[in-house]
Amino acid sequence: MILVHVPGFPGNQTSLNPVGPGAERIEGEFALIFWITAIVYCLVLIALVVYVLRRRHSLNIMPEPMPTTPQSDRWAKVAVSGAMVVTVLLLFIMMIGSFVTGHALGNMNRETAYTIDVYGHQWWWEVHYPNDEPDKTVVTANEIHVPLGVPLRIHGTSRDVIHSFWAPNVQGKRDLMPGYETDVMMQIDQPGRWRGQCAEYCGEQHAHMSFYMVAEPGPQFQQWLSQQAASSVPPSTPQAVRGQQVFLGHACVMCHTVRGTPAGSRVGPDLTHVASRSTIAAGLLPNTIGNLGGWILNAQSIKPGCRMPPNHMTGSELQDLLAYLETLK
Amino acid sequence: MITTTAIESTAELTEQERAQAARLDAVWSEPRGFWGWFKAVHHTTIGKRYAVTAFIFFLLAGLLAGGMRLQLAFPEAHVLSNDLYNQFFTMHGSTMMFLFAVPMMFEALSVYFVPLMVGTRNIAFPRLNAYSYYLYLFGGLMFYIAFLCNTGADRGWFSYVPLAGPDYGPGKRPDFWAQLITFTEVSGLAVAVETIVTVFKLRAPGMSLNRIPIFVWGQVVVAFMVIFSLPGVVLSSTMLLLDRTCNTQLFNPAVGGDVLLYQHLFWWFGHPEVYIIFIPGTAVISTIVTTFCRRHAFGYLVLVLSLVATGFMAFGLWVHHMFATGIPQIAESYFTAASMMIAIPTGAQIFCWIATMATGKVVLKTPMWWALGFFFTFIMGGMTGIFVASVPVDLQIHDTYFVVAHFHYVLIGGAVFPLFGAISYWFPKVTGRMLSETLGQITFWLFFVGFNITFFPMHLVGIRGMPRRVYTYPPNMGWTTLNQIESLGYVLLFIAVCVFLANVSRSLKTGSLAGPNPWKAGTLEWATTSPPPHYNFLHLPTVNGREALWDAAPNQPVVIGLDEDARSFLTTRTLDAEPEGRDEFPRPSIWPFLAAIATSIAFIGSIFTPWGITIGAIPVAITMIGWFWPERQPAERRRAREIWQSE
């Protein structure tokens, strides 16, 4: 396959800066179609402009219609037939290229691939790292750490409406539909944080439903995984203890899980290790104390329509709660 | 029935012809006065209403686009709330597809021009035609009144389940969307039936199938596509409404419903819909290119067969809107191949048009400029269509701004450019006055440049990862500058449309008189005065070639012998258009209007209660009985004719 890199598209959310074999294959087919169609487009329009200029009638009145005969149209017939033959041939080339690429993407399927479960929610991503020992299953949100250079199977579905899982640097998109389960194979060969975003319109906050795929070398990934598998550490400072009471005494506990505490609801993201994540609100804000505080008090002003209700609490309660959440590394 | 009399459309009328015209006028004139407006049934009256209404919806949807461009001009902007933005883009898409593109490109153009171009006095089933217009109007009014009451549809023009279903689409917003579909589809189906019957039974003698103007062929193909595709969306939107009002759970996966079924039904319609919109556009291009290259279109047969082939193939591509749902690879291959093959008939048409120009005399008047603009934009849309057709590439660009760019190039290039061309081409026929050539070319250049500035950067921003239907975006994505360029392009488009409207309003009053055939064109609508009288032609024409006026014999016969005291017309055979019989059009009537009101009450009522249709059917039945109530005189005339014809 002709593989031409199309320059000028840096970035961590573009299909033309591939960091894995999936997106790389697709970029090759993209480049093939791009060059063929660009050349054909230019040739057709040059022909059009040349003939319009050559056959242009300068008088301001409409001339009488011209008689035409099969003889006078003979060379036009030859030219049109030739152009059609070329069109069909080029379409055939692009079609075969498409089949070959599709076949290669299908062949990425490996029984041994590392499986990660992704569930779409309005408007965030629930991520599970299944493990044969249930207590080692990792549950997190919006930040998908993956081992570098290892075939991955993203096994996904939706918990509500249709979403589409798409990290363009890594692989093409796949819809997550309620009632259907789907597998998409991918692999990341370049360390970094690759951004993805929901690509199927899913309601009020479709614009704010992003995630990051964090690719890191195997040992680092294993370390992250074992840290995430642990329960939360009981709070040690008095403020954090008070904060935990705030968490358990307010509406937080109705929707969120913090493993190691009585909070076990699955409506919102699992917060057991929330402080280890770099963003909140599905990639909308950096995970800082200030942002977190504003989000807790009135998420509706930041992400209108989201499922997180406004929470009324005193300033000291909020400070305690934030101190507690900061301990959930 | 046929004698030889020369038709000289510009010639002075003889005394005898003036008397004949007065008699025809008395029989065919539309009723006057306030109530007369609601009784009108002539196709030129209804066609003009379709065109004006559809254009107003085009302007409204364009204004909504301006709101969206303003919101997207800055990252994380707060010009529109997310809720309002979601309503804006849904209303924009639904209006452009259901209230502008199809009613304008198919219904308005077909209703006004097909009867004129085949040389008959009215469209088949004229009362149904009036009824279909009122339903379309009421559906559009309902949709916009709901929008003004903050009940605007906000689930996208496709309204996928379960997002639009009862669990995730609270309120009545998706219900109004679903009923808008019902309204516009009933009117679309009615016009499809009228068009097919008009073309297959009412053509002028001599207009055999191989002499039908390409524009008319396009509308026939579209009419068949409407009949085969619209049931899909009627089904899906009705099932959605049942889920929402009757708790049927057809699309609820929790109890065995299927969300993918909705997509198949919707795109079974939704893909042919695109071709329903641009086939009339390509048919307009064939007409304009023929007239302004001063020769018969090169490759008539290829052009017609391409339209027919596009119509067939359009039904084999719907899954390419669903590649990302993860369908089996063998099906992917089939739909990739089918999607790419659609480029063959379209390519054939483009090469034929270029060949027509290369062998003709190109006259660069405003309609021809729009046709040239069509080439630059539509071919670009076709090229990016190949990206979308390839499954792997589609997985990267589906639902991004690349696709937004692609289909605006296809639909604005394939429908709006030809539409402006059609307006500047046929405005003299419809109004009797010419548009200003200078203002027309200014409009063209503003629109052409503005269009490309608005939509070309969308390809780039889509490749850079910006998804569709997002009400805002983060500042550090590299999308901001491109979005600002797009928003600036909108300003040019806005000015272009303003210049166009100024041109129209100025030309309506002071434009130079057009005469019957200002472009010296060859099709039959130019064989009568501008604007045409309500009986269309003083002498019903006969046809001797593909361009009836260019190919007319020096003593081309006309049809005589039809009753002049009734709205009679000639029917001809489908294949060779030999005269077959006579029949009579119904007179103007208020009943189609009343029936449309009753139908609208039933449709809108069913948004609020399932009983809407059941109880609403009673007034519909009453008004339909009034509509079809037999009249003594026409019935007696018909009986006499049947006896005469059977002997």
* Position B1 confidence tier, pLDDT thresholds 50, 70, 90: very low
Do residue A29 and residue A95 come from a single domain?
yes
Residue A168 lies in a domain: yes
Span B264-280, average pLDDT: 95
Residue A48 lies in a domain: yes
User: Looking at CA atoms only, how far is residue A314 from chain B in angstroms?
Assistant: 29
Do residue A99 and residue A134 come from a single domain?
no
Do residue A290 and residue A246 come from a single domain?
yes
CATH code where residue A140 lies: 2.60.40.420
Residue B646 has pLDDT above 80, yes or no: no
Residue A223 lies in a domain: no
Residue B303 has pLDDT above 50, yes or no: yes
Do residue A92 and residue A154 come from a single domain?
no
Report the chain A residue with the minimal C-alpha distance to residue B338: A95
* Position A110 confidence tier, pLDDT thresholds 50, 70, 90: confident
Residue pairs spanning A and B at CB distance below 8 A: 266
Q: Which of A210-214, B8-12, B244-248, B311-315 is predicted least confidently?
A: B8-12
Count the helix, strand and coil residues of chain A and give each as a percent rounded to the nearest 5: 40, 20, 40
* Position A135 confidence tier, pLDDT thresholds 50, 70, 90: confident
Cα–Cα dist B336/A100, whole Å: 12
Cα–Cα dist B377/B452, whole Å: 8
Do residue A154 and residue A180 come from a single domain?
yes
Residue A224 lies in a domain: no
Residue A162 lies in a domain: yes
Residue A311 lies in a domain: yes
Cα–Cα dist A205/A213, whole Å: 20
Amino acid at B507: S
> How many structural domains compose chain A?
3
Instruction: Classify residue A124 as exposed, middle or buried by CB count within 10 Å of its CB (0-12, 13-18, 19+).
Output: buried
Name which of B337, B355, B477 is nearest A13 (Cβ-Cβ). Answer: B477
Percent of chain A residues topping a pLDDT of 70: 97
Do residue A101 and residue A148 come from a single domain?
no
Mark yes or no for CB contact A304/B332 under 8 Å. Answer: no
* ipTM for this model: 0.95
Residues 79-118 of A with CB under 8 A from B: 79-80, 83-84, 87-88, 91, 94-95, 97-99, 101-103, 105-106
- Looking at A86, A106, A126, which one is the last position of a domain? A106
* Position A7 confidence tier, pLDDT thresholds 50, 70, 90: low
DSSP string, A124-160: EEEEEE--SSGGG-EEEESEEEEETT--EEEEEEESS
How many angstroms separate the first and last alpha carbons of chain B?
Answer: 16
Span B417-440, average pLDDT: 96
Tell whether domain B18-526 is in CATH 1.20.140.10.
no
pLDDT at residue B644 in the model: 64
Residue A5 has pLDDT above 70, yes or no: no
Q: Which of A58-72, A104-118, A190-204, B588-602 is predicted least confidently?
A: A58-72
The mean pLDDT value of chain B amounts to: 93
Residue A109 has pLDDT above 90, yes or no: no
Answer yes or no: are the C-beta atoms of A130 and A198 closer than 8 Å: no
* Position B296 confidence tier, pLDDT thresholds 50, 70, 90: very high
pLDDT at residue B13 in the model: 81
Decide if B77 touches A, using CB distance below 8 A: no
Residue A220 has pLDDT above 50, yes or no: yes
Which positions in chain A touch B479 (Cβ < 8 Å)? none
The domain of A269 spans 238-327
User: How many DSSP H helices and E strands does chain A contain?
Assistant: 7, 12
From residue A223, alpha-carbon distances to A128, A227, A254 in Å are 16, 6, 31
Cis peptide before A262 (omega within 30 of 0): no
* Position A10 confidence tier, pLDDT thresholds 50, 70, 90: confident
**How many CA atoms within 13 Å lie on the side-chain side of B469?**
28
